[in-house]
Amino acid sequence: MANTVVETSPPAGHGDDPNRRDFIHIVAATAAVGGVVAFAWPLIDEMNPSADVLALSSIEFDLSKVTVGQQVVVKWQGKPVFVRHRTPKEIAEAVHDDHAPMKDPATDASRHKPGKPEWLIVIGVCTHLGCVPNFGLGDYGGWLCPCHGSVYDTAGRIRKGPAPLNLFLPDYTFLSDTKIKVG
Amino acid sequence: MSGHSTYEPKTGFTRWLDARLPIVRLAHDSFVDFPTPKNLNYWWTFGGILALCLGIQIVTGVVLAMHYVPNANLAFNSVEHIMRDVNHGWMIRYIHANGASMFFLAVYIHMFRGIYYGSYKPPREILWILGCIIYLLMMATAFMGYVLPWGQMSYFGAVVITNLMGALPIVGKSITTWLWGGFAVDNPTLNRFFSLHYLLPFMIAGVVVLHIWALHVPGNNNPRGVEVKSKEDTVPFHPYYTVKDGFAMSVFLILFASFVFFMPDALGHPDNYVPANPLVTPAHIVPEWYFLPFYAILRAVPDKLTGVLMMFGSIGLLFVLPWIDRSKVRSMRYRPTARLFFLIFIVVCLLLGLCGSHEPDDKIFANLAGFNLLDSNLNSYTWLSRFLAVYYYAFYAILFLLSWIEKPLPVPESISAPVLKAGKKG
Amino acid sequence: MLRKTTFIAASVGLVLAAMGLGAPAMAATTQAELKSVNWSFEGPFGKFNQEQLQRGYKVYHDVCSACHSMNLLSYRNLADKGGPFYSDKYPNPNESPYAKAIAMDFMVPDIDTDTGDAITRPATPSDHFKAPFANEYAAKAANGGSAPPDLSLMAKAREGGPRYIYSILTGFADAPAGLMVPPGKYYNPYFPGDLTSFWNGPGKAPTGGFISMPPPLTPDRVTFDDGTKATVAEEAWDVAAFLAWAAEPHQEERKQTGFAVLIYLLLFSGVLYASYRTIWRKISH
């Protein structure tokens, strides 16, 4: 592209309007930024759970394995889930305390599915700092967390100790009287 | 051209920062206000394109490494997991695989530009050598990267190349065992290749920094090969060359995207979609296209050790090019004889690549019977590789001779000096 | 002068490269030229035909799955977008009743968490396709020493992909007189091989090789639910398309994204070029 003529100034009549001249550069810069963002999005989204992980995001569980007064621990999405078959005494004690003073007030009815009070299903991770509470220990016969002494009752509600919230309830549905799907 | 910095920090913060770590000043002096010859043509945009390629490979590579498993039993399936289950994994993988090819395409153009315009000549010898080091690191990185999917071609490519070390006398076998971490290419080999494949690109980045530093001391070469004489010869790098490099990168990305989205497996080999099986050798072991010319030189020589030496020698010669070609005229625009031999050199390199893709015994002209010369038929890719390899080496000797006996065309006074006749630039 | 020389050199190089790089020849291995078929997913605008994928899955299920595994596929993939049993009503393939119904028919190995025993249970969409043999050794033992290859990537693992699969399946031919066929092998002109040492007849050995698989397809071997006539060619065509989908389920998404990217890049290049010309207008260069 060797030019033999040295141009001094653009010929008259060409728009030398700074607004018009800068516009193309603004468009180019904006398009470049847009392109970079569009390229960056998949690189960020790939860290989200992949399809095979999502496929395991729900599990089915057979309740007939859990005898009255016992709990079974099931692994769901990498966390323990307590499936507790409550005795009538445990249910009564929980209902009795529905309006007792507690850090995270909740009725027993809000903690189980309607018509199925004997099944208490909670995520077995202490809401304080994440340890797994021990079954049946503590003043209320619910759970006792060995790490810092949080005490949960038979509805999984926090009654004593440093934990701020009740044990979390996972999403679950009854597929039949003896089968649940968690997640 | 190293000169006085024109950066003036305007805000309180930038003045404070500049007094403690003048990094903005460095960026400004190197990439904004840097005086660059105003006559650079599009062959000069490939440096920026290469930086873009390195960035893309590192970013996509780090992301792939979040999902890839470097274990011989799991590697192949982990790559398919990326292709099928990881969000956008197929795209990231195809960008990384085709990105390697695009990286080499750009580097070969960049190197050929350097030879044609004499960019390796004094005072830019170190710049050129740093570039050769980057090229070697790229080849090592690409070779190890291709092993990682643990397909048939991955595995047997590793077998062939690591076995080359066995050709070295006395220490050959120990070195090969050391490389393998065992008695054959296996899991230990894969694991260490993954570690090194992750490491080397960052070493490349470091050498690239040195490469740009070495460039900025004398400043860029230009198509006329004459030094910058005055400010009239240059323009500031920004916005003149940032926009030109940006445009060139965008066009380059069009080619890149065409491969990634419409022919993602065209440059690869179907055998690499078969999991590695040490007991079954593929009919036809070939490296990726960018290694084919060296593969051809390696196979052209019947003796294993000599073949290895010739192959490495062909790369080694590049390092000493500044001392082989001593012509005072830089740009081959003004060296018509050198230019002719150089164009033949390019064709020879392409043909060597063709030879590398064929079986050595394949006939060049299918219907010609040919006759045997020494150990193979003259109508075979073996003999063609030999003739081409001879030219490859001869080219350097020719450049050496031309340093003295060539009669170059008159070189312009400066970058801005008007050209005498229209179209004379050649 | 430079331009002319460059042009000539480049053309010579390109022509010679094109001559050779297309199909590197193997020493004495021969293979008949693959048959040409139309594929709905070919080309930059290609799309899979969902009915064809369903028929292809049926062929795989009824015929091929007896010997060939597809370990990289899960039942949920069948209900993925672009797959044979995708439905807009069930965008989440794990919830798809089609995927659940298909999976349920297969009993897959598992471990009883109470006793630790090995058991089998009905598959769910998250399970991988059930393999016909427990491991590679069992596969080899049951098939005369050659394990039938996994088909998940077959359409990408062979030169010619779906064309190769179609040609092999429809290309079984009677061995010409003078060809010694070893027991347990079958002559197929589309299977690459070197038959010179098996040829007793006149002239050159026939093209092709010996494949360990007997011709798997016969007319009406499969009954298609949509009533399509199940000729060997149809069965082969459908299963090859299904295998092409299985090898690259994201193919359609890839091409669609490619269009958006190329259009953006073309426009962006245009804008950048205009920006470049504007900036350089005043410089003589």
Residue numbers in B near C24 (CB within 8 A):
284, 286, 357-359, 362
* pLDDT of amino acid C24: 45
Three-state secondary structure of B362-399: CECCCCCCCCEECCEECCEHHHHHHHHHHHHHHHHHHH
B33-287 CATH choice from 3.40.718.10, 3.10.20.30, 1.20.810.10, 3.40.50.1370: 1.20.810.10
pLDDT single digits (tens) B100-131: 999 999 999 999 999 999 999 999 999 999 99
Asked if C271 lies within 8 A of A5 by C-beta distance, the reply is no
Mean pLDDT of B253-258: 98
Q: Identify the closest residue of chain B to C11 by CA–CA distance.
A: B347
The band of B420, judged by pLDDT with boundaries at 50, 70 and 90, is low
When CB atoms are compared, the residue of B39, B264, B273 closest to C153 is B273
Contact map slice: B 185-244 vs A, CB within 8 A? 239, 243
> What residues of A are in contact with residue C275 (Cβ under 8 Å)?
24-25, 27-28
| B81 Cα to chain C: minimum distance (Å) | 8
Give the chain C residue nearest B87 (alpha carbons).
C250
Q: Which residues does chain A have within 8 Å of residue B39's beta carbon, measured at their own beta carbons?
A: 2
Partner-chain contact C76 A6, CB within 8 Å: no
Instruction: Show which of residues 63-82 on chain C sit within 8 Å of chain A, judged by CB atoms.
Output: 74, 76, 80
Sequence-ordered list of residues with C-beta below 8 angstroms from that of B51, at least 6 positions apart, any chain: B208
Rounded Cα gap, residues B407 and C9, in angstroms: 23
Q: Is A38 on the interface with B (CB under 8 A)?
A: no
Percent above pLDDT 90 for chain C: 84
- Residues B92, A48: C-beta atoms closer than 8 Å: no
Residue of B nearest to C126 (CA): B85
Instruction: Answer whether B61 touches A (CB < 8 Å).
Output: no
pLDDT of residue A4: 45
Q: What pLDDT, on a 0 to 100 scale, did the predictor assign at position B366?
A: 82
What is the per-residue pLDDT for A62? Answer: 87
Predicted pLDDT at A2 = 47
Question: Residue C179: which pLDDT band, with cuts at 50, 70 and 90?
Answer: very high
Cβ-based contacts of C14 with chain B (< 8 Å)? 350
Mean pLDDT value of segment B160-183: 93
Please indicate, yes or no, if residue C248 is contained in any of the structural domains: no
- Give B131's contacts (C-beta < 8 A, 6+ positions apart): B110, B111, B114, B211
Nearest to B205 by CA among B53, B68, B14: B53
Does B273 sit within 8 Å of C157, measured CB to CB? yes
- Across residues B395-412, what is the average pLDDT? 95
Q: For residue C184, is pLDDT > 50? A: yes
Active site residue A85: no
Q: Is B279 on the interface with A (CB under 8 A)?
A: no
Peptide bond into B123 cis (omega under 30): yes
What's the average model confidence in pLDDT over B209-226? 97
Distance (Å, whole) CA C22 – CA B358: 11
Total of domains in chain C:
1
pLDDT tier, B213 (very low <50, low <70, confident <90, very high otherwise): very high
Q: What is the mean pLDDT of chain A?
A: 88
Nearest to C262 among B38, B257, B357 (CB): B257
> A47: which chain B residues are within 8 Å (Cβ-Cβ)?
66
C56-97: per-residue pLDDT in tens? Answer: 999 999 999 999 999 999 999 999 999 999 999 999 999 899
- Interchain CB distance below 8 Å, C16 and B354: yes
The yes-or-no verdict on residue B2 having pLDDT over 70 is: no
Cβ(B113)–Cβ(B81) below 8 Å: no
Question: For C15-36, what is each residue's pLDDT tens digit?
Answer: 555 444 444 444 578 999 999 9
User: Which amino acid is located at C162 in the chain?
Assistant: P
Q: Tell me the one-letter amino acid at C250.
A: H
Asked if C257 lies within 8 A of B91 by C-beta distance, the reply is yes
Average pLDDT, chain B: 95
Q: What is the model's pLDDT at position A7?
A: 43
In the predicted model, is pLDDT for residue B340 greater than 70? yes
A27 touches chain B (CB under 8 A): no
Confidence (pLDDT) at A1: 44
Residue contact A35–C268, C-beta within 8 A: yes
Distance from CA of B351 to the nearest CA of C (A): 7
Q: Distance between CA atoms of B80 and B65, rounded to whole angstroms?
A: 13
* Model confidence, pTM: 0.90
- pLDDT, residue C166, reads 98
pLDDT tens for A126-141 read 999 999 999 999 899 9
Torsions phi, psi for C40 (to 5 deg): -70, -20
Q: Do A42 and B243 touch (CB under 8 A)?
A: no
Domain that holds residue C103: 74-128
Contact A151, A128 (CB under 8 A): no
Contacts with B85 from chain A: Cβ below 8 Å: 50-53
Q: Does C13 reside within a domain?
A: no
Alpha-carbon gap, residue C141 to B108, rounded angstroms:
50
A52 touches chain C (CB under 8 A): yes
Contacts 24+ apart (CB under 8 A), B192-198: B193/B70, B193/B144, B193/B147, B193/B148, B193/B158, B194/B68, B194/B70, B194/B144, B194/B148, B195/B70, B196/B140, B196/B144, B197/B61, B197/B141, B197/B144, B197/B145, B197/B148, B198/B61, B198/B65
A134/chain C closest Cα distance in angstroms = 21
Q: Å from C267 to nearest chain A CA? A: 9
Q: What is the per-residue pLDDT for B372?
A: 87
Task: Report whether pLDDT(C260) > 80.
Answer: yes
The verdict on a CB contact (< 8 Å) between A25 and C268 is no
The average pLDDT across B135-163 equals: 97
Query: What is the average pLDDT across C93-104?
Result: 93
pLDDT of res. B322: 97
Taking chain A (183 residues) in runs of 10, the rounded mean pLDDT of each run is 45 50 89 96 95 88 90 91 94 92 93 93 95 93 94 94 95 91 89
Q: Which two tokens stand for residue B87?
A: 């969000």
Pairing verdict, β A143-144 and A151-152:
antiparallel
- Confidence band (pLDDT; 50, 70, 90) for B368? confident
Q: Which chain B residues are within 8 Å of C152, Cβ to Cβ?
A: 80
* Percent above pLDDT 70 for chain B: 98
Instruction: Compute the mean pLDDT over every residue in chain C, rounded to the nearest whole number.
Output: 90
What stretch(es) of chain B map to CATH 1.20.810.10? Answer: 33-287
- The reported pLDDT for the residue numbered A13 is 42
- Taking residues B5-24, what's their average pLDDT? 95
Q: Is C277 in the A-facing interface, judged by CB distances under 8 Å?
A: no
Which residue in chain C has the smallest CA separation from A74?
C113
Instruction: Give the CA-trace dihedral at B305, B310, B316, B322, to 10 degrees.
Output: 150
Residue B71 has pLDDT above 70, yes or no: yes
